[in-house]
Amino acid sequence: MTLEILTSPILQPVQHGFFTRKGGASSGIFSGLNCGTGSSDQSEIVAINRARVAAAMDAPVEALAGVHQVHSATTVTFDGPSSEKPKADALVTATPGVVLTILTADCQPVLLADAEAGVIGAAHAGWRGALGGVLSSVVDAMVALGAERGRISAAIGPSISQKAYEVGPEFLEEFLAEDPEYMRFFINGEGDRYLFDLPAFGLHCLRAAGVGDAEWIRHCTYSDPDRFFSYRRTTHRKEADYGRLISAIRL
């Protein structure tokens, strides 16, 4: 099976892709393109999947740059290929050939580009990272490399949608403590539960950071098990582990 690669028109002509789980070598609960080295999948199979991604990005596998994601607001700059994986949740580069990658399974994968300046970025933005400022952090790091805020385009890839993201009152309170206006990203669920719109909040953060254009490509990870891995769906099914989707961008 060939790889399925979703793209965003606002990032053109920069090469990028939000990869689905189709076309991978993994089996069982990881069936498909599991690129998570931190999963309990066979490491040699994950390596095959990552090599397929690198080939699709017209790069050697050594060019794939990633970080050890910890739900932070930290952004790191890559000047060239590196085997190091610093603890961070966003990465930027102005170096042609470096492929920035992010792993997700419900959280937002965000790819960013100022094509004119030759600066790109990628961010892992779950609710905690987004609330903590990871999206403004990645934009600031791009600007430090020569990008202009108004020229930056940012696309949010497959993420959990509001209809699938039920949260408790303590979750809501954490957002309202930051800004009471954040109530607009929640609607009432059953009982004392709420439904949180993570992609809408991500778009708000990107626009507040001053990007020129931003969109969510409108795919829900939870609701489409044939195409996407989902941490929450795995939890609800009481499965032992889950695969990780990869998103990539390069100059």
What global pTM score does this model have? 0.97
- How confident is residue 83, by pLDDT bands cut at 50, 70 and 90? confident
- What pLDDT digit, counting tens, does each position of 60-76 carry? 999 999 999 999 999 99
- How confident is residue 197, by pLDDT bands cut at 50, 70 and 90? very high
Phi-psi region of 168 (alpha: psi -120 to 50; beta: other; left: phi over 0): beta
The pLDDT score that the predictor gives to residue 80 is 83
Q: How large is the average pLDDT for residues 155-167? A: 98
**Helices and strands counted in the chain (H then E):** 6, 14
The structure tokens listed for 214 are 């931003």
Q: How large is the average pLDDT for residues 55-63? A: 97
Q: Which residue has the tokens 């965003």?
A: 8
1 has pLDDT over 80: no
**All domains in the chain, ordered by first residue:** 5-161+197-250 (3.60.140.10)
- How confident is residue 240, by pLDDT bands cut at 50, 70 and 90? confident
246 has pLDDT over 90: yes
CA dihedral 106, 163, 195, 158 (to 10 degrees): 20
SS3 100: strand
Pair 81, 98: CB distance under 8 Å = yes
The radius of gyration computed from the CA coordinates of the chain, to the nearest angstrom, equals: 17
DSSP per-residue codes, 102-164: EEESSSEEEEEEETTTTEEEEEEE-HHHHHHTHHHHHHHHHHHTT--GGG-EEEE-SB--GGG
The pLDDT score that the predictor gives to residue 174 is 97
38 has pLDDT over 90: no
Instruction: Please give the mean pLDDT across all residues of the chain.
Output: 96
